[in-house]
Amino acid sequence: MLAAAVTVLLGTVVTILSRSHADRNVYPSAGVLFVHVLEREHFKGEFPPYPKSGDASNDPITFNTNLKGFPDRPGWLRYIQRTPHGDGVLYGSPTAEHVGKPTVIEITAYNRRTFETARHNLVINIMATEEFPLPYQAEFYIKNMNVEEMLASEVLGDFLGAVKNVWQPERLNAINITSALDRGGRVPLPINNLKEGVYVMVGADVPFSSCLREVENPRNQLRCSQEMEPDISCDKKFRAQFHIDWCKISLVDINKVVPVYVSRPDPGTGILPEFGEYNPPSESLKSPDYFSDFLVTLAIPSAVALVLFFILGYTMCCRREGVEKRNMQTPAIQLVHHSAIQKSTKELRGMSKNREISWPLSTLPVFNPVSGEVVPPIHPDNYETTSMPLMQTQANLQNQITIPQQRPSDTSGSVDVLRTFPKLRNKNTFWRRIPSLSP
């Protein structure tokens, strides 16, 4: 019973401490890779129980990290989390400039199922060491790894062990890890389990081994220029787990790196000193004189435009010849000819205004070819011609005579037109014998 009570008490104490949002301190070294894993299990106790049924141990949790008081992280610190069901990782390589300056990182965890949040602070105290930075640094490009896979402690340890076997240094440390996407690499296709690749920089205290120097011989350089894999004797020690692109390896001896400036050049008159407060100019300074600028930009162009206006006005108004001078220089016969043309044009225009609109042919009196009578149009005199149809219908025509059928006793072979149309006799019209319709 006592042990159970102690266990419950310890669990209560741990729960209280975990919810008190106490700061967590870490002490990385400058020039050495820093990795901090944000474990989901550590933040699950921060969220209250959810009333609905569900697997609380598998809630999706994401993290947001930022420098306290700022929206983003420091430049040397990166963060990655592939899925909400995986852990987040903070990693980077602090420099000597950050030594002695505590860096407080705010970590906010979001439960994507319950929409609850929890916040912790991570205090990074960067320590200075005399043995860093290591003078000999080599950067490897591993093609079959992602950055979160390489940041795992066992994988990184296996890689450092393989490097130590081919280099044989006394001290060997990982300096930095960078994803190939941050170096301009392309996102791999989601087929054949392709990886994005990762750059790993390591440092040692002894010169590079002969195996690493094989990349610099002309034969391997030629193969790299032809996009062929170089022949490296120690590649088999990495090939079992790590596929290294030996054409992208970088070997740097920082002892031989010549700095651009040993000492800073003297600043000019327009450069402020590095330290000190900024003193703005005094308010008693006189304002500059803009009268000359006014003359150059506004007065001179206006004066030139005014002179051009007067010249154009004099040319158009005071230098005109006039109609009288033009008639004096024109021959008399030409003036008479022009006058006759104007007079005729005016007379034709006057006549065109007074002429009547003629009726269309369909509105004229119609001659009936059967009766010989003239049928007047069916519209009155004031009928609007614009809405009048072109063909007039003649209904109920008087004196319309139909052609009778031929008698069988008629053997003359023709029909007398005057007998069929008696009224044609009185009109003195031309008539002729119509052939018989019978065969």
Q: Mark whether 142 and 65 lie in a shared domain.
A: no
How much is the pLDDT for 260? 52
Domain count, the chain: 2
In a domain, 334, yes or no: no
CA distance 37 to 51: 30
Average pLDDT over the chain reads: 76
**Do 35 and 120 reside in the same domain of the chain?**
yes
In a domain, 67, yes or no: yes
Query: Is the pLDDT reported for residue 198 higher than 90?
Result: yes
Judge if 117 and 195 occupy the same domain: no
207 preceded by a cis bond (ω within 30 of 0): no
Grouping H, G, I as helix, E, B as strand and the rest as coil, residue 134 is: coil
pLDDT the model gives residue 396: 45
Q: Choose the weakest-confidence range: 2-6, 22-26, 71-75, 190-194.
A: 2-6
Domain of residue 120, residue span: 18-46+53-124
Tell me, yes or no, whether 361 lies in a domain: no
Of the three residues 232, 253, 274, the one that is the final residue of a domain is: 253
Mean of pLDDT values over 77-86: 91
Element (H, E) at 326: helix 322-328
- If asked whether residues 164 and 106 sit together in one domain, one would say no
Whether residue 140 is found in the same domain as residue 244: yes
Residue 63: predicted pLDDT: 93
Within a domain: 79:
yes
Percent share of the chain, pLDDT over 90: 22
In this structure, the answer to whether residues 77 and 149 fall within a common structural domain is: no
pLDDT per residue over 85-135, tens digit each?
889 999 999 888 888 888 999 999 998 888 888 888 999 998 887 766 788
428 pLDDT more than 50: no
Residues 85 and 186 in one domain: no
| 66 pLDDT above the threshold of 70 | yes
Concatenated DSSP letters of 61-128:
EEEEEEETTSSS--TTEEEE-SSTTS-EEEEE---GGGTT--EEEEEEEEETTT--EEEEEEEE-PBP
Q: Which of 229, 253, 277 is the last residue of a domain?
A: 253
> Which of the two residues, 136 and 356, has the higher pLDDT score?
136
Question: Among 235, 253, 271, where does a domain finish?
Answer: 253
pLDDT more than 70, % of the chain? 69
Query: What CA–CA distance (Å, rounded) separates 388 from 362?
Result: 9
Q: Write 356-365 long-range contacts (CB < 8 A, 24+).
A: 357/385, 359/385, 360/385, 360/388, 360/390, 362/388, 362/389, 362/390, 362/391, 362/392, 363/388, 363/392
Residues 67, 141 within the same domain? no
Q: How far apart are CA 373 and CA 364, in angstroms?
A: 14
Asked if pLDDT for residue 269 goes beyond 60, the answer is yes
Nearest Cα to 203, choosing from 255, 128, 146, 151? 255
What number is the average pLDDT over the span 176-199? 86
Q: Which band of pLDDT confidence, cut at 50, 70 and 90, is reported for residue 35?
A: very high
Sign of CA dihedral 374, 378, 383, 389: negative
Residue 64 belongs to domain with CATH number: 2.60.40.10
Residue 59: predicted pLDDT? 82
One domain, residues 148 and 193: yes
> CA 258 to CA 40: how far, in whole Å?
46
Per the domain annotation, does 112 fall within a domain? yes
Same domain, 151 and 244: yes
Residue 149 within a domain: yes
Does some domain include residue 217?
Answer: yes
pLDDT tens string 126-144 = 888 776 678 899 999 999 8
Q: How far apart are CA 42 and CA 65, in angstroms?
A: 16
Average pLDDT over residues 269-275: 65
Residue 392 included in any domain? no
Question: Do 82 and 157 share a structural domain?
Answer: no
- Could you report the per-residue pLDDT of 158-179, keeping only the tens digit for each? 999 999 999 988 888 899 999 9
At 11, the pLDDT band (50, 70, 90 cuts) reads very low
- Could you tell me if 100 and 205 lie in one domain? no
